[in-house]
Amino acid sequence: MLIVLTRIVSRSIWNKSWKRFKTFKKRTTVIKIELNKTNQRIGHAEDRIEGIEIRVQNVEETMTKMIRMQSQLESKQIDQEGRSRRDNIRIYNVPEDIEKNSMNDYVEQLLRDTLDFPPDTELHVERDHRAPVPKPRKNARPRSIVVKFLRYKMKEEVIRKAWVKQDIFVGQQKIYFDHDYPPAVLQKRKEYSEVKKALKDRKIRFQTPYPARLRVFYEDGTHIYHTAEDAYLDMVKRGFHVEKTPLTESLMEQLEHTSWAQQKTS
């Protein structure tokens, strides 16, 4: 009797175990199938990602070539524009409407009065006008005056006299003379503003050669900077306190930074 009961119990346990095993096996089979599908999807995704990376690399290479071509064209355009302006000067801060009915008469008299040209000196002014922008509101900064000379030497003489004299006034208003730079060059030169301020505070002589460089006469020798960023970094190393001017990134720099960021995250 005991043997019969033992067999019955054993068979019951076996049947239950077998059912559990079959259920587990089915689940394991399903999991394997799903894993295979997942692996296949991952494989397809990796293939697509690899293809996208190749296309992105090709696009970046093409963009790099296009940006370089654009940069070369812009450089040529800026050079041509600079040549077309080489006989021009700009006079800043001259009050609006002070010229009345004749800008030419006013400019000639202004140059003679402020820069001490003799009455018999021919100034060879070809034409002059206010900068072609909307007239400012009352008490706003006046538009600059563009003056074109027939002779380059006369233009240079005007600039030289103005820079030697430095403090030039129209009534109570201090005015400034400068070359007529292309907008792109003027923007690059403005990037040196904080650097030049620090040099002036230290009473260190400097020059700003065309198009946008900075020549500084330090006690230990002369140094020429080709970008405001170079000047800032070197002057900080020399112990200057210089506020960093926000710089506009070129398209090439933006592309390089984007590529570097992508490499770091990959």
Q: What is the mean pLDDT of residues 253-258?
A: 60
**Residue 253 clears pLDDT 70, i.e. is over it:** no
Banded model confidence at residue 169, pLDDT cuts 50, 70, 90:
very high
Q: What is the pLDDT of residue 259?
A: 56
**Residue 9 clears pLDDT 70, i.e. is over it:** no
Q: What is the mean pLDDT of residues 5-19?
A: 64
For 62-77, the pLDDT digits (tens) are 888 888 888 888 888 8
264 vs 13, which has greater pLDDT? 13
Please choose, from the candidates 141, 120, 121, 122, the residue with its C-alpha nearest in 3D space to the C-alpha of residue 130: 141
Helix, strand counts (H, E) of the chain: 7, 8
Cα–Cα distance for residue pair 30/107, rounded to 1 Å = 92
Cα–Cα distance for residue pair 162/180, rounded to 1 Å = 14
DSSP string, 204-261: --EE--TTT-EEEEETTEEEEESSHHHHHHHHHHTT---PPPP-PPPHHHHHHHHHHH
Range of lowest pLDDT (26-30, 86-90, 147-151, 246-250): 246-250
Cα–Cα distance for residue pair 92/89, rounded to 1 Å = 10
Structure tokens at 116: 């001490």
For 185-219, the pLDDT digits (tens) are 999 999 999 999 999 999 999 999 988 999 999 99
For 72-110, the pLDDT digits (tens) are 888 888 889 999 999 999 999 999 999 998 999 999 999
224 pairs with which residues across the strands? 215
Banded model confidence at residue 56, pLDDT cuts 50, 70, 90:
confident
Q: What is the pLDDT of residue 46?
A: 86
